[in-house]
Amino acid sequence: MSAFNRCKTERPLKMLIHRPWMLAASAAIAVATLAHPPAIFAQQTDFASAVIATKPLGYYPLDATSGKSQVGATTYSANSGVAVGSPGAGIAGSSNSFAKFDGTTGYILTTQKGGVGASASIMAWVNLAELPSKTGHLVYVAGESEVGNDLDVQFDTDNQIKFWTAAGGHISYTPPPATLINQWHMIVVTLDTATHTRVLYWDGKLAAHDTGGGESGKKSVFTIGYTPTFTGRFFKGGIEQVALWDYALKASDVTALYAASSATSSAASAGSSIGSVPTTGPFATKATVEIEDANGPVKLKREEQIAYMFLSAIEVIEHNCQLTLQRTCTMAEMLSGSYPSGSHIEHLKFDPNKTDPNYSYTAVSGGMAWEAHANAKKPNLDGFCFMSRTVGTTTVTYSATGKAGWVDKEIGNRSMAGDSFATQ
């Protein structure tokens, strides 16, 4: 049997797979049928409900270092340069937590890829810990970066917030510098290539617009806090409530969203963190793991959670290898961190085969495909298998026999919050 055939033949995961043809179909239906009058928000009781009512492609509150979109099937995951911080923007109905980026290595990858045709909108709540003019480099907020076909929101070293939609084309707004540091702000940008219209909103109000247009058909992965296409643009501070739409929000929509936030902590600092911090020993982690199969939630022993966390760390690393290097990475590379200079790819914090007495671990890779196993050494422990054939697509199975393979139970919904075994 081939090394890549031990797991189940790849099928769409409920949580992790982006299916462009389905998104295209749903986008066509949404554009044809969705109306966006301000009254749509009148009966909503919190910000999340208001956002969901607008039918975004993806909506990521970012109140944990990994999780699922509040709509659709996409997920997100952060590297070790991102922690969970609190208090957040004080948004109505939210957990009041946010993603805290360290400004040097931190970023978040989603499994949302492309899905944007002739028009788009992006939203993010941001809290800068340092002025970009002091940071000395561009500071990326969110978008789908592509050379010559941008869809990027970022701060420049002149402290302007800019929205790029094509090579060399952007609109910008200069907020008062005194209002930027340690204060929360809602950014919304919209693009409509049919009308050649670009708009930038700051805290629910029109800040800039033009008829510069931009190109349609964005195809890249949606990232937050950093872009692998234009490296070095790390965000320092807090980001939460990020969303992507496949149509241009109206001014009334943006106004209503900002009103629904009822933000009460606009000056809340991004400096504090409630991220999980290991204490002593290699597995003294407070991270939590939640998984479900077709029958519902699956309760995992702590030993099983550790095994899952190692494979999840391998998944994060391989995903970044696929995006950055256009190939998968070997176990030797993941252990040593011996990647090409400037790639900013994580490595495993521990060698699982030397530090975990309960499981043996294997990983094989080739081209854009990879597969990893955690096989139990002791009785009464589940075995796990992660397998991927392309970017953003992972099939996960588990088995009570201690060794998981292609015929075993598939894990659908899954999430992990807290520190990771993948680190810079």
Q: Is 298 helix (H, G, I), strand (E, B) or coil?
A: strand
Average pLDDT value for residue range 227-256: 93
Say if residues 220 and 163 touch (Cβ distance below 8 Å): no
CATH number, domain containing residue 246: 2.60.120.200
The per-residue pLDDT for range 211-241, each reduced to its tens digit, is 876 777 777 899 999 988 888 899 999 999 9
Average pLDDT value for residue range 366-373: 93
Say if residues 187 and 124 touch (Cβ distance below 8 Å): yes
Pair 245, 359 in one domain:
no
Please enumerate in sequence order all residues whose Cβ is within 8 A of that of 314, keeping only pairs 6 or more positions apart, or say none: 334, 348, 363, 370, 372, 386, 422
Pair 46, 102 in one domain:
yes
pLDDT at 380: 95
Residue 28 lies in a domain: no
Pair 86, 212 in one domain:
yes
Pair 67, 173 in one domain:
yes
Residue 24 lies in a domain: no
Residue 2 lies in a domain: no
pLDDT at 242: 98
pLDDT at 117: 84
Pair 237, 297 in one domain:
no
For every residue of 187-201, DSSP letters joined together read EEEEEETTTTEEEEE
The pTM of the full predicted model, rounded to 2 decimals, is: 0.56
Nearest CA among 112, 84, 108 for reference residue 23: 112
Q: What pLDDT band is residue 279 in, cutting at 50, 70 and 90?
A: very low
Expressed as residue numbers, the domain containing 335 is 288-423
Pair 223, 169 in one domain:
yes
Q: Which of 217, 243, 261 is the last residue of a domain?
A: 261
Residue 103 lies in a domain: yes
Pair 129, 216 in one domain:
yes
**Chain center to CA of 329:** 21
Pair 140, 251 in one domain:
yes
The per-residue pLDDT for range 152-200, each reduced to its tens digit, is 999 999 999 999 887 657 899 998 887 888 889 999 999 998 888 999 9
Is the predicted pLDDT of residue 330 greater than 70, yes or no? Answer: yes
Residue 118 lies in a domain: yes
The per-residue pLDDT for range 86-111, each reduced to its tens digit, is 888 888 778 888 999 999 999 999 99
Q: Which of 245, 261, 277 is the last residue of a domain?
A: 261
Residue 59 lies in a domain: yes
Please tell me the total count of domains within the chain: 2
Q: What pLDDT band is residue 23 in, cutting at 50, 70 and 90?
A: very low
pLDDT at 29: 26
Residue 97 lies in a domain: yes
Average pLDDT value for residue range 36-45: 37
Rounded mean pLDDT of the chain?
81
Is the predicted pLDDT of residue 403 greater than 90, yes or no? Answer: yes
On the 0-12 / 13-18 / 19+ scale of CB atoms within 10 A, 90 is middle
Q: Give the integer Cα–Cα distance in Å for 249 and 303.
A: 47
Is the predicted pLDDT of residue 202 greater than 90, yes or no? Answer: yes
Is the predicted pLDDT of residue 423 greater than 50, yes or no? Answer: yes
Pair 201, 293 in one domain:
no
